[in-house]
Amino acid sequence: MQNNQNSAALEMVLNSLGVLREHFQDSNVQEIMINGADDVFIERFGAINKIDIKLSEAQIRAAITVLASRAGKEIGPKSKDCILNERWNGVRVCAVLPPASPNGPVMSIRKHSSVTFTLDDYVTNEVIEPATRDILKGAIQDKKNILVVGGTSSGKTTFLKALIQEIDPSERVITIEDLPELDIKLPNRIAFETREDQGVTFTVLVKTSLRMRPDRIILGEVRDGAALDLLNAANTGHEGCIATLHANSSLEGLTRFEDLIMQAGSSIPLQSMRQRISTTFHYVIFMARKNGKRRLLEILKLDGFDTTRQEYFFTHVYKE
């Protein structure tokens, strides 16, 4: 029933934004960005381009109003809310109305890809070498803890899906996401989603998952104090944890992870924290957009922490 309601809501939005329907239905379009009337960009095959269409401010407002209504929310001049964040059947919508958007209503519609690649596909497409694939397959089979880092739309989630394909079907896997993107075909899997408006955060769900006998915990993206809970879980017998987070390099990913732990109010001394990170996580994979394409640029194997230089010991398993 819920899926039918979501489909109806999206159909009404597409009716409001009729000229965008062909782009929405194009499976190669990842995002539609409406900056205003007659100012629309799309991301297709990783490249962002402006498209020649004509929208009116009334059309954009109508689409936002429909989504808000279907979500049971009121947004606009008569409401205290002027920002809408919602998800619908593989689509995430973020919309902003004046006065937060003084030049008029804006929207971003992100489509989650239903395509799942394997590590073998990455080899076939010449993204990684067979030797690199074998190292990654071995890391999953040996239940190593892995961080997949990168910027927005860098391919982190797609690569995470490829890693997940290597998990033994006999394992019990719990996934935790902000937005549902991991369509995992595993027989013993529980999917959790955050609900910030109800106080259900990543931190809450990580703690909850530990009570449900997981063989693996997979976080769609580490954003808050869940970093500390994940570190504790991965460091105390819950092997094979995999998580993604935003960062602009492999080493910056480790610094970002440190920051998230400190934001959780941790009293762990920085040096001790870094030592724990270096012995808990075995690999850091860095994804990025390069020349309009999503690429795997680095894989670091963590080998410890140098307390004298205050630096991580690591080996470049792969570097483009």
User: Domain residues for 172?
Assistant: 119-319
Burial 244-272, CB ≥16 within 10 A → b, else e: bbbbebbbebbebbbebbbebebebeeee
Average pLDDT across the chain, whole number: 87
How many whole angstroms separate alpha carbon 114 and alpha carbon 142? 28
pLDDT at 89: 67
Instruction: Give the amino acid at 90.
Output: G
pLDDT at 26: 86
Whether residue 310 sits in one domain with residue 240: yes
Name the packing angle between helices 270-280 and 250-263 (round to 10°): 130
**What is the pTM for the complete model shown?**
0.82
Q: For the chain, what is the domain count?
A: 2
Whether residue 211 sits in one domain with residue 68: no
Whether residue 50 sits in one domain with residue 149: no
For 98-120, write each residue's pLDDT tens digit: 889 999 999 999 887 666 789 99
Beta bridge partners of 316: 300
The CATH number covering residue 218 comes to 3.40.50.300
Which of 83, 111, 139 is where one domain is finished? Answer: 111
- Tokens 């194009």 belong to residue: 26
DSSP 139-166: HHHTT--EEEEE-TTSSHHHHHHHHHTT
The CATH number covering residue 67 comes to 3.30.450.90
217 closest CA partner among 277, 171, 178: 171
For 274-310, write each residue's pLDDT tens digit: 999 999 999 999 999 877 678 899 999 999 999 999 9
pLDDT at 2: 44
Peptide linkage before 99 cis (omega within 30 of 0): yes
Whether residue 71 sits in one domain with residue 55: yes
Residues of the chain with pLDDT under 50: 1-4
